[in-house]
């Protein structure tokens, strides 16, 4: 199986290779096969991408907003037309089942391009009456945006960063994760086909060092990272040296609180989605499931019964629910947490190890795993695992649940299940998390801002809020009378 792109990088509207860069292989996690071999961008290639983006910025920032919007809308249409091809590519690159990639990856990217394409015409400033004179504001772009992605939603992350950046008139240099380099190149192709001028959206391949060079580049005005907390800290430190704008979408250990009066089947569905979708590799996952004691037994019984129905298997088979993890090191990490859970004294309800999938001996599959009787101090309840490992903790009162849910350095997301809507609103108001759900989990429509509190990051993606993070306000004072001076 091969998914070799035309070349490694996309700069100034065309594919570029730079064979002096170290080789970079993309593997299909279900079989271990190498599906593409690319090259890491050298410093010369990174600098060329930033230079192209600077030139692209001059053209794009002067393009009328309505025209910018038309390009984004056309690109959204192209992604939709190519959804199956793009979904298959994403499945090969990430191992996520086609059942998911068909609806959640390029499709979400297209929604985002649509949303921000529609918004460009509304990007206005304000008029401020000052009596004899007035002021107005202009909403202006920042310049070259360095966007750096994680491997779990490659094309979605590229779109979530590119669409608001481009809508505001910025240009972009995007670096995908080294594990999933392919789909961002397809986005670049789609944007060019839609009429985006040369140099406005560029893709370079590489590892952390490539991202670091990009972040420290003096011609980059803004950095937007999706990644782990340690990488976020390094990026914020590096960006501070040249006072760049920064958006950080980082990790989480989010709580999902289920009260006695919740609908059990809906709560179980949400807990499954919040832990096993994308093989658990989702930043906002509700991995600490707090269940009130009165409903605990019924919840765990149905959870075990329904988790047993999950079909692990060939990711390209649309009947498959759960695919492999993205890489061997990620699998080793997840397996080590499964072992740790048992050592720490949590009760294994189901799963707990590597999964055998017929025909995929080399596949990086693990079992969807549930631990019950988890205590707050256990490492499986405190650290981000980023795999299909659910921790179920029980509680007595609402105040207790809120206090324990908030006792974490993370603050990306949270969910509440209850039949009492007043309690639902009261509890989410008390939770320290950037994105909350009442009686559902992990739905992230483009209209709704998304981002973290505390160590889960700052800045917002999606919604009108994202515009604030990809533009700046210029204030203009206009004098209509004479200018007075003391002498």
Scanning 211-219, 255-263, 269-277, 400-408 for contacts with ligand NDP by CB under 6 A, the matching segment is 211-219
Count, residues near ligand NDP per rule CB under 6 A = 29
CA 77 to chain centre: 22
Largest CA distance in the chain: 90
Site membership for ligand NDP, residue 341 (CB under 6 A):
no
Residue 216 binding ligand NDP, by CB under 6 A: no
Check if the beta carbon of residue 28 is closer than 8 Å to that of residue 92: yes
Secondary element (H or E) of residue 86: helix 83-94
Number of alpha carbons in the 13 Å side-chain half-sphere of residue 24: 29
List strands edge to edge, sheet with 471-478: 127-129, 134-141, 471-478
Q: Which of residues 279-338 bind ligand NDP (CB under 6 A)?
A: 283
Q: Does 414 participate in binding ligand NDP (rule CB under 6 A)?
A: no
CB 54 within 8 A of CB 198: no
Active site residue 126: no
Structural contact between residues 275 and 368, judged by C-beta atoms closer than 8 angstroms: yes
Residue 384 assigned to a binding site? yes
Minimal distance in Å, beta carbon 279 to ligand NDP? 13
Instruction: Pick between residue 75 and residue 184 the one whose CB is nearest to ligand NDP.
Output: 184
**Candidate segments 87-95, 131-139, 150-158, 312-320, binder of ligand NDP by CB under 6 A:** 150-158
Element (H, E) at 138: strand 134-141
| Cβ 230 to ligand NDP shortest distance, Å | 7
Q: Which two tokens stand for residue 190?
A: 């789609």
Whole-number Å distance between alpha carbons of 46 and 408: 37
Identified binder of ligand NDP from the candidate list 7, 128, 135, 212, rule CB under 6 A: 212
Residues 346-365 that bind ligand NDP (CB under 6 A): none
Choices 74-82, 92-100, 246-254, 364-372; region in contact with ligand NDP by CB under 6 A: 246-254
Please enumerate in sequence order all residues whose Cβ is within 8 A of that of 338, keeping only pairs 6 or more positions apart, or say none: 351, 352, 353, 366, 369, 389
Sign of torsion over alpha carbons 195, 199, 201, 202: positive
Q: Judged by CB under 6 A, which of 78, 235, 256, 257 binds ligand NDP? A: 235
Among the listed residues 189, 367, 398, 461, the single catalytic one is: 461
Active site residue 293: no
Residue from 108, 170, 177, 183 touching ligand NDP (CB under 6 A): that is 177
Q: Is 384 in the site for ligand NDP (CB under 6 A)?
A: yes
Per DSSP, the residues of 324-338 read: --S-HHHHHHHHHHH
Total Cβ atoms within 10 A of residue 180: 26
Q: Does 191 bind ligand NDP (CB under 6 A)?
A: no
Contacts of 242 (CB under 8 A, 6+ apart): 216, 218
Judge whether 331 and 364 are in contact, CB under 8 Å. Answer: yes
Q: Is 192 flagged in the annotation as binding? A: no
| Residue with smaller CB distance to ligand NDP, 211 or 388 | 211
In the set 112, 168, 283, 436, the catalytic residue is 283
> Are the CB atoms for 239 and 262 separated by under 8 Å?
no
Annotated binding-site residue? 178: yes
**Among residues 41, 46, 89, 148, the one that binds ligand NDP under rule CB under 6 A:** 148
Nearest to ligand NDP by Cβ — which residue? Answer: 211
Closest of 280, 278, 281 to residue 371, by C-alpha: 280
DSSP 455: G
Minimal distance in Å, beta carbon 214 to ligand NDP? 7
Strand-pair partners of 203: 10, 174
The C-alpha atoms of residue 271 and residue 254 are separated, in whole angstroms, by 12
Residue whose tokens read 């199986």: 1
Choose between 90 and 314: whose C-beta lies nearer to ligand NDP: 90
Q: Does 264 bind ligand NDP (CB under 6 A)?
A: no
- Please identify which of the residues 90, 100, 249, 367 carries the catalytic annotation: 249
250 contacts ligand NDP (rule: CB under 6 A): yes
The total of other beta-carbon atoms located within 10 Å of residue 475's CB is 11
- The answer to whether 161 and 149 are in contact (CB under 8 A) is yes
Is residue 412 a contact residue for ligand NDP (CB under 6 A)? yes
| Rounded CA separation 74/113 (Å) | 9
- Closest CB 369 distance from ligand NDP, rounded Å: 18
Tell the smallest beta-carbon distance from residue 170 to ligand NDP (Å).
19
Q: Which of 13, 29, 143, 149 binds ligand NDP (CB under 6 A)?
A: 149
Q: Which is nearer to ligand NDP, 149 or 313 (CB)?
A: 149
Give the residue with the Cβ less far from ligand NDP, 148 or 350. Answer: 148
Question: 30-45 burial string, b = 16+ CB within 10 Å, else e?
Answer: bbeeebbebbbbbeeb
Among the residue ranges 12-20, 92-100, 231-239, 393-401, the one whose residues contact ligand NDP (CB under 6 A): 231-239
Is 93 marked as binding a ligand?
A: yes
Binning the chain into helix, strand and coil, the percentages to the nearest 5 are: 40, 20, 40
Annotated binding-site members: 26, 93, 149-151, 175-178, 243, 251, 283, 384, 454, 457
Annotated binding-site members for NAD(+): 149-151, 175-178, 251, 283, 384
What are the residues binding ligand NDP (CB under 6 A)? 148-152, 175, 177-178, 207-208, 211-212, 215, 225-228, 231, 234-235, 249-252, 283, 384, 386, 412, 452
Which residue numbers are catalytic?
A: 161, 249, 283, 461
Annotated binding-site members for K(+): 26, 93, 243, 454, 457
């Amino acid at each position: 199986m091969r998914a070799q792109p035309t070349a490694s990088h996309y700069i100034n509207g065309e594919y570029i290779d730079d064979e002096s860069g170290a080789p970079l292989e993309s593997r299909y996690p279900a079989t271990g096969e190498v599906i593409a071999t690319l090259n890491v961008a050298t410093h010369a290639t990174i600098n060329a991408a930033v230079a192209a983006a600077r030139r692209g910025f001059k053209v794009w920032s002067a393009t009328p907003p309505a025209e910018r919007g038309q390009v984004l809308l056309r690109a959204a249409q192209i992604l939709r037309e190519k959804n199956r091809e793009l979904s298959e590519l994403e499945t090969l690159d990430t191992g996520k089942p086609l059942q998911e990639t068909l609806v959640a990856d390029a499709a979400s990217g297209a929604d985002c391009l649509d949303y921000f394409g529609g918004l460009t015409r509304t990007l206005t400033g304000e008029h401020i009456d000052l009596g004899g004179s007035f002021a107005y504001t202009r909403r202006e772009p920042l310049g070259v945006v360095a966007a750096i992605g994680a491997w779990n939603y490659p094309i979605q992350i590229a779109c979530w960063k590119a669409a608001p950046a481009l809508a505001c008139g910025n240009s972009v240099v995007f670096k995908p994760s080294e594990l999933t380099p392919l789909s961002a190149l397809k986005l670049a192709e789609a944007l060019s086909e839609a009429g985006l001028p040369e140099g406005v959206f560029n893709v370079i391949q590489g590892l952390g060092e490539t991202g670091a060079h990009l972040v420290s580049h003096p011609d980059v005005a803004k950095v937007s990272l999706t990644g782990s907390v340690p990488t976020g800290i390094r990026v914020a430190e590096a960006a501070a040296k040249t006072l760049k704008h920064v958006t950080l979408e980082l990790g989480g250990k989010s709580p999902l609180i289920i009260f006695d009066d919740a609908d059990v089947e809906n709560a179980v569905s949400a807990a499954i989605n919040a832990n096993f979708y994308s093989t658990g590799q989702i930043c906002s996952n509700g991995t600490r499931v707090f269940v009130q004691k009165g409903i605990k037994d019924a919840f765990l019984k149905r959870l075990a019964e329904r988790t047993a129905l999950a079909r692990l298997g060939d990711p390209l088979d649309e009947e498959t629910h759960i695919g492999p993890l993205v890489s061997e090191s990620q699998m080793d990490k997840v397996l080590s947490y499964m072992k740790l859970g048992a050592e720490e004294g949590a009760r294994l309800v189901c799963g707990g190890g590597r999964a055998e999938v017929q025909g995929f001996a080399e596949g990086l599959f693990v079992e969807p795993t549930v631990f019950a009787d988890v205590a707050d101090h256990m490492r499986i309840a405190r650290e981000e695992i980023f795999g299909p490992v659910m921790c179920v903790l029980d509680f007595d009162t609402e105040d207790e649940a809120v206090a324990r849910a908030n006792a974490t350095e993370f603050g990306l997301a949270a969910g509440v299940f209850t039949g009492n809507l007043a309690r639902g609103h009261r509890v989410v108001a008390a939770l320290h998390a950037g994105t909350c759900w009442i009686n559902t989990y992990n739905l992230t429509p483009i209209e709704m801002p998304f981002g973290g509190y505390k160590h889960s990051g700052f800045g917002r993606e999606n919604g009108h809020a994202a515009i604030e993070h990809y533009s700046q306000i210029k204030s203009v004072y206009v004098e209509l009378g004479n200018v007075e001076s003391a002498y």
